[in-house]
Amino acid sequence: MSWSDRLSRFGLVCALILPVMGCFKPMYGGVEGAALQNELQAIAIDPIPDRTGHYLANELRFLLNGTGSEVRPKYRLQITLRERVQASLVDSTSQRASAGSIIIDADYRLIPVQGGKPVARGVAFTFASYDRSSQRFANIRAARDAEIRDARTLAEQIKTRLAADLAR
């Protein structure tokens, strides 16, 4: 391919890209990104019941306000969890489950502190698998580790969705 062909292709690519250059902007960059970070820090998380709720609330506090600074809340985040355990694989000789999955659905609503319509709402979903053995305490710990992994994944999903809703 000659030099002039390469240059004409480059010009064609530039001509196609230039009209849409202003359509994309980074969510966390620039002045808007700093304002978005301030909005995320101003979210207070309502207590979430059960152990998984505790893990999820801690992960969200860190992701939304990792600085540890005290910010006056503008929003309240309400989360309802639905958790279920499903046996994925069953050993045919012992008739025991050899693997399990913990499935969690999180319904969330972001409400202004003063009240009113929710700013954001949705459902986040995740599952984590774990191996089961004949040792009871090993199964309990493996299930708890799966809950912690689920809480981390849910926290990341919820934070990203909240940021997208607040950036609009």
pLDDT of residue 26: 56
Of 54, 80, 58, 77, nearest in space to 68 by CA = 58
Q: What CATH code is carried by the domain that includes residue 45?
A: 3.30.160.150
**What is the sign of the dihedral through the CA atoms of 135, 102, 80 and 34?**
positive
pLDDT in tens, 105-144: 999 999 999 888 999 999 999 989 888 887 889 888 988 9
Report, as an integer, the average pLDDT of 85-89: 73
Report, as an integer, the average pLDDT of 144-150: 92
- 31 pLDDT higher than 60: no
CB 142 within 8 A of CB 132: yes
CB 96 within 8 A of CB 135: no
pLDDT of residue 92: 65
Report how many domains make up the chain: 1
Range scoring the smallest mean pLDDT among 54-58, 90-94, 95-99: 90-94
Confidence of residue 54 (pLDDT cuts 50, 70, 90): very high
Report, as an integer, the average pLDDT of 9-32: 64
Spatial neighbors of 106 by CB under 8 A, at least 6 apart, are 56, 79, 80, 81, 82, 123, 124, 125, 154, 158
Domain that holds residue 79: 3-167
Spatial neighbors of 91 by CB under 8 A, at least 6 apart, are 97, 98
The owner of tokens 């306000």 is: 65
What is the chain's length? 168
